[in-house]
A = this chain, B = another copy of it.
Amino acid sequence: MLKIHEPVIIVNFKTYLESTGKKAIHLAKQAEKASQETGVQIIIAPQFVDLAKIAETVEIPVFAQHLDPINPGNSTGHILADALKEAGVVGTLINHSEKQLRLIDIQTTVELAKEKKLVSCVCANNPTVSAAVATLKPDITSIEPPELIGTGIPVSKAKPEIITNTITLVHQINKKMPILCGAGISQAEDVTSALNLGTHGVLVASGIVKAKDPYNILCTFANATTK
Interface residues of A (CB under 8 A from B): 12, 14-17, 20-22, 47-53, 65-66, 70, 72-80, 82-84, 86-87, 89, 93, 95-104, 106-107, 124-126, 128-129, 131-137, 149-150, 169, 173, 205-206
CB<8 Å pairs between A and B, sample of 27: A12-B76, A14-B74, A14-B75, A14-B76, A15-B75, A15-B78, A15-B83, A16-B72, A17-B82, A47-B80, A47-B83, A48-B79, A49-B49, A49-B86, A50-B52, A50-B83, A66-B77, A74-B149, A74-B150, A77-B98, A78-B98, A100-B104, A103-B124, A107-B129, A128-B135, A132-B132, A135-B173
Q: Which of B49, B82, B86, B136 contacts A132 (CB 8 A)?
A: B136
Residue contact B102 to A128, C-beta cutoff 8 Å = no
Please give me the residue from chain B that is nearest to A98 by CB atom: B76
With a CB–CB cut-off of 8 A, which chain B residues contact A47?
79-80, 83
Given contacts A14-B73, A15-B78, A76-B14, A20 and B83 within 8 Å (CB-CB): yes
From B82, B98, B104, B206, contact of A125 by CB (8 A):
B104
What residues on B are CB-neighbors of A70 within 8 Å?
15
